[in-house]
Each structure stands twice: as structure tokens, then as C-alpha cells.
Structure 1
Amino acid sequence: MGKRRLALCAGVLAVTAFGPAACAAYAADGGGVSVVPAAPVPGADVALKVTGCDAREAVAQSPVLVSDARLTPDGDGLTGDGRVRSTLTAGTYTVTVACDGTEHKGTVEVVRKRTPAAAAGPSAHPSPVAPVNAGAGGAARELVGGPEPQGPGTAQTVVALALAGTAALTVHRAARRQARSGRGTV
């Protein structure tokens, strides 16, 4: 009975440990469209990104953009560039990307252009703008622009759960074999 408890505890531990990660990974892989900067002015250039799309290419469409933006693979999604129409009025607009038969949507809030009189003037940055080449051969520049680590993806979570289940099943079968042969301990 001790080995059965061990197998049961291992299975419960695996579900407890990896269950929330699987839910979070599934939610994160749902995909969406992001626009940087999120609040551009008319005439500004923007970077578009869609996650949760396995296609090799997609097109972003929006009344905000001068023309449709072509998105291409970039690590963990598709990215591309576009330009905001210079004749737009301030407001919130939808950006749509059709990918693999699924429509991904995001929003962008276009803000009014600032006039030079409204600007407060130049201000000093509270922290350094660019990383300093200090150690690691200048690797800091590459790390600054990279994506934030977001934990295991859906595939890694499924593999981890499958391995934990296989381990629990193996321990359970070994315990049953020992119990049948009369060598099991209570």
C-alpha cells in the first residue's frame, strides 16, 4: 500500500504543480494583436505583432493603417510594420489579422498630435536610455530588446504532464506486481 500511496501522491503533485501552468500557457497561447506604441499620433510608424498564429505569413488590416501590413515570423509570433494615417482623428480603432482561418483582434488608441507650445520642453531621462557595454561582451544590448521570458508553453506543459503521468503509472504497476507476488509491504 505504501507504493500505491507514493504513486497517488506523485500524480497529485504533478497535477498540482503543472495544472496552473497548463492553464496559464493555454491562455497565453490564445493569441492577440499588439501595437507598439499603443497610443500613436497620426502619421506615426507602428510595430504590429500577433501571437498564437502558426502561419508563415499574415496580413494586418485596420482603418488606422495607410495600407495593409504584411506580418512575417519573428520567434514567438508574426511581426510587421505599418504607418498610421495622418488624417485620422483621435479615437480607438480595431486591428484585425486573419491567420489559419482564425481572426485575431487588437486595438490601438490614436491620440491627438501635440503642438510644440503644449510640450513642456526637453526633460532629462530618469534612467539611462541605452545599456552600457559592461561585461559579457556587450550582450546587454541584445537582451534589452528581447522578449520577456514567459514560462513554459503549451507543448512543454503537455510533455511534462505526460511524463509525470507515465512515472505515476510505472510506480503503480510495480507496486501491483510486488503485491501479487506476495513480497509487498504494508
Structure 2
Amino acid sequence: MTCGGSLINGNWVITASHCVANNPILVTIEFGRHNLRALEAYTKQKRTAKPIFRHPTYQHKDSISSLKDLDGDIALIKLNAPVAIDSFVRPTCLTAANYSFNELNLCTISGYTDACYDDSGGPLSCHSRSDSVLSRYSNRWHLAGVVSGGRGCGQRYYPSIYANMTAAPICRWLSTILENN
């Protein structure tokens, strides 16, 4: 399975739980790839997963009872070795619990227009504007959501679905895993 992810520091990646198996040997991550049709050997960094932490409330999409259940569709991957942060590989920032993104934020997804096939686990990133609460971070992108699913690609009336990275239980879980590992 091919999925996206978000680097949050030199050692950790966030993706969707449905993208990763419990066996970290099977997960290879490439950084610095911006064009899948080009080799990009000079920008690419390759790592494998050391441990993988799937959120405990994750439920397979076929068994969810509400869209709220998809908030657990996240996983943290610790890398076997740190990646070099450079002009081709940059981390995104995590936000405070319950932070609300609004019309003051410029947001984008990585991948195709709208979240599409193979974009699962990728970021919904928002850039804080100078007149927002996070003005001191005006040069940074913040992870607002993780692509969890949708129906097709860019279909009218069927928006993409994202795990909410600002939900308090998600933020507490992330903090616990990152602090203890």
C-alpha cells in the first residue's frame, strides 16, 4: 500500500493507521520525493519504521459507526535513523489541543487535487496568518488533519475525510507516545 505522511521532527512521522501494518519491517518511508516520475536521487532519503504506534481507538473503515470514529485513524512511526532536515525535507508543526482553524488560515493538502488514491495518511496543513492566534508561528505549517478517506477523487458532494489532529484525546495520545519513546 502506498500512503502519505507528515514528518513532525527528524525521527517521527504521522500517517493513517489503515496505512501501516503492525509489523514495522514492512514499512519503508521516502523523504524528499516530489516527483514520482523522476529519480530525485540527490534529494531522496530512505528510512524504515522502527516501532509503529497505532491509535488505540482506530477502527477499520468498514466497522466505523460514525465519522467521529475516524479521528483514531492515525499512527506514529519512529524512524530507524533520523532524516536530515534540509530544503527538500521539512517537518510540519503540531498544534495545541482544540485549536480551531478558520478562514484566516491558508490550508493545503499534499498529493493530488482533493485527497485521492494513495494520499491516505497525508497532511491537511494550515499556514497561520499574522492576524491569527498563532501569529508567532506565521512562517510555519501546522498539521490540522490526516487524510483518512473519501469517495473517489474530487467528486462533487463527497468531500475527503480527515482525522482531526487538534482533538484533545489525539493530542494527549501523541504527547504520551512522543515523550515515552
Q: Which has the higher helix share?
A: 1
Q: Which has the larger radius of gyration?
A: 1
TM-score normalised by L of structure 2: 0.26
